[in-house]
């Protein structure tokens, strides 16, 4: 591990690409930034419990990537006050344990919305215009032209109108697309602007030329796109998932693509990221010529990571300073329950 600045609070960072400006910000606010020296190609989500405990011993703050934040891990780290995700998904954090043990868990809300929305549009264009096949042909010495499909004035279904989903809708305006939307909460601004048409899930699967999912991964949304819903999609349509592996049943998607019941898919996330039994499914998906795949890079640009680093660091500084981070960033806060427990004792 590489200690970069001296300070009052030890803050361990188990993510790569942590910029010097954010390290300086932490140092200026009484924090010692310690970057975990991860093996090449390995992320914090791959590390065993014993290694995580060793890395985080004595830390007051933890800026985390994709590690599982379990009750057992938190209990082994009595000094740890705040777990700050450099990202927005928190399905790998045991929120009940965070509250029960008097800790705080935060996300970098609003920092990577634009970056992921950009990638989503990029995946739509790349798979529809058959970029992968075009480049493979050129590399083989062929100038044959695979005919692609426009995004211009097509019908795009957006499932989930959170920050990223809304960003995708704004970008689609430039393509003069008709946007169908599904969300449990109606965005009155977008509806009033005529930017979206709210429909039910059945309609959004049936009528979309492009379907992109931007929902959180919960028991309710797991395998939202599966055989029962995919079979209603048009054979000329494209499925995009740049949100979370598990929103799409990759086995069912693979079958639909191989049977030509879908035109293609743009994928940044896969079920196999959390379930190794799907590794062969992932390998088959990314081998298909009508799949454009990226290795969960949605938030990973220099600009996007700079923003998420800073928000994650600001959350750490706020908690360690006795303050509360912005409400949009807090996913669990057990400090009051811990105080009540101490008073009762």
User: Which pLDDT score is estimated for 184?
Assistant: 80
**Could you read off the pLDDT of 53-70 as tens digits, one per residue?**
999 999 999 999 989 999
User: Which pLDDT score is estimated for 80?
Assistant: 98
Q: Which of 273, 307, 310, 314 is catalytic?
A: 273
Q: Which of 92, 226, 296, 335 is catalytic?
A: 296
Strands (E), the chain: 2-3, 9-13, 31-35, 61-64, 82-85, 104-106, 155-159, 178-182, 197-198, 210-213, 238-241, 264-267, 291-293, 330-333
pLDDT over 60 (residue 7): no
Which of 327-332's residues contact partners 24+ apart within 8 Å by CB, and which partners?
328/109, 328/110, 329/106, 329/107, 329/108, 329/109, 330/104, 330/105, 330/106, 331/90, 331/93, 331/95, 331/105, 331/106, 331/107, 332/93, 332/95, 332/98, 332/99, 332/103, 332/104, 332/105
User: Which pLDDT score is estimated for 241?
Assistant: 98
Q: What is the CA angle 136-137-139, rounded to 5?
A: 65
Residue reference for tokens 């995009």: 240
Continuous segment of H or E residues that includes residue 51: helix 49-56
Which structural domains are found in the chain, ordered by start?
2-111+301-344 (3.40.50.720), 113-293 (3.40.50.720)
pLDDT over 70 (residue 153): yes
**Could you read off the pLDDT of 330-340 as tens digits, one per residue?**
999 999 865 44
296 among known catalytic residues? yes
Question: Mean pLDDT throughout 61-89?
Answer: 96
User: Which pLDDT score is estimated for 89?
Assistant: 86
Mean pLDDT of the chain: 93
User: Which pLDDT score is estimated for 186?
Assistant: 74
54 among known catalytic residues? no
Strands 197-198 and 2-3: unpaired
pTM of the full structure: 0.86
User: Which pLDDT score is estimated for 338?
Assistant: 56
Q: Which of 99, 244, 307, 310 is catalytic?
A: 244
Confidence band for 321, pLDDT divided at 50, 70 and 90 = very high
User: Which pLDDT score is estimated for 192?
Assistant: 72
The residues pairing with 156 across neighbouring beta strands, listed in sequence order, are 179, 210
Which of 158-161's residues contact partners 24+ apart within 8 Å by CB, and which partners?
158/182, 158/196, 158/212, 158/214, 159/183, 159/201, 159/204, 159/211, 159/212, 159/213, 159/214, 159/215, 159/224, 160/213, 160/214, 160/215, 160/216, 160/243, 161/185, 161/187, 161/190, 161/196, 161/214
Strands 2-3 and 31-35: antiparallel
**Nearest alpha carbon to residue 157 among 198, 103, 187, 116:** 198
CB neighbour burial string for 46-82, b if at least 16 within 10 angstroms, e if fewer = ebeeeebeebbeebbbbbbbbbbbeeebbebbeebbb
21 among known catalytic residues? no
**Could you read off the pLDDT of 157-212 as tens digits, one per residue?**
999 999 999 999 999 999 999 999 999 877 777 777 789 999 999 999 999 999 99
User: Which pLDDT score is estimated for 337?
Assistant: 67
pLDDT over 90 (residue 4): no
3 state DSSP class of 7: coil
Which of residues 116 and 193 earns the better pLDDT score?
116
Per the structure block, which two tokens stand in for 323?
A: 């303050």
pLDDT over 60 (residue 305): yes
pLDDT over 50 (residue 136): yes
**Could you read off the pLDDT of 239-292 as tens digits, one per residue?**
999 999 999 999 999 999 999 999 999 999 999 999 999 999 999 999 999 999
8 Å CB contact between 61 and 105: no
Confidence band for 343, pLDDT divided at 50, 70 and 90 = very low
Question: Mean pLDDT throughout 290-305?
Answer: 95
Round to whole Å and give the CA distance between 154 and 161.
19
**Could you read off the pLDDT of 9-21 as tens digits, one per residue?**
999 999 989 999 9
């Amino acid at each position: 591990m590489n200690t970069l600045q001296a300070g009052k609070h030890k803050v361990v960072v188990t993510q790569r690409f942590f910029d010097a400006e954010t390290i300086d910000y932490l140092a200026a606010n009484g924090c010692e930034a310690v970057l975990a020296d991860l093996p090449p190609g390995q992320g914090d989500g791959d590390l065993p419990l014993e290694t995580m405990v060793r890395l985080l011993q004595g830390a007051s703050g933890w800026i985390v990537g994709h590690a599982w934040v379990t009750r057992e891990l938190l209990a082994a780290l009595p000094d740890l006050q705040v777990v700050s995700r450099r990202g927005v998904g928190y399905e790998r954090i045991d929120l009940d344990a965070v509250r029960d043990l008097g800790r705080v868990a935060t996300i970098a809300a609003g920092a990577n919305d634009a970056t992921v929305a950009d990638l989503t549009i990029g995946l739509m264009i790349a798979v529809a215009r058959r970029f992968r096949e075009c480049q493979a042909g050129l590399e083989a010495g062929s100038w044959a032209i695979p005919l692609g499909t426009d995004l211009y004035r097509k019908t795009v279904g957006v499932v989930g109108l959170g920050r990223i989903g809304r960003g995708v809708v704004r970008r689609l305006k430039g393509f003069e697309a008709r946007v169908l939307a599904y969300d449990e909460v109606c965005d009155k601004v977008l509806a009033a602007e005529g930017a979206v048409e709210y429909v039910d899930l059945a309609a959004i699967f049936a009528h979309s030329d492009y379907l992109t999912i931007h929902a959180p991964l919960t028991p309710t949304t797991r395998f939202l796109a599966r055989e029962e819903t995919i079979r209603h999609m048009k054979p000329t349509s494209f499925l995009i998932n740049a949100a979370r592996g598990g929103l799409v049943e990759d086995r069912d998607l693979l079958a639909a693509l191989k049977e030509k019941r879908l035109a293609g898919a743009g994928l940044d996330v896969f079920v196999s990221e959390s379930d190794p039994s799907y590794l062969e499914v992932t390998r088959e998906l990314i081998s298909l010529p009508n799949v454009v795949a990226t290795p969960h890079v949605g938030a990973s640009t220099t600009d996007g990571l700079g923003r998420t680093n800073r928000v994650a660091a600001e959350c750490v500084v706020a908690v360690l300073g006795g303050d509360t981070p912005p409400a949009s960033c807090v996913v669990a806060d057990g400090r009051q329950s811990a105080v009540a427990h101490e008073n009762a004792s």
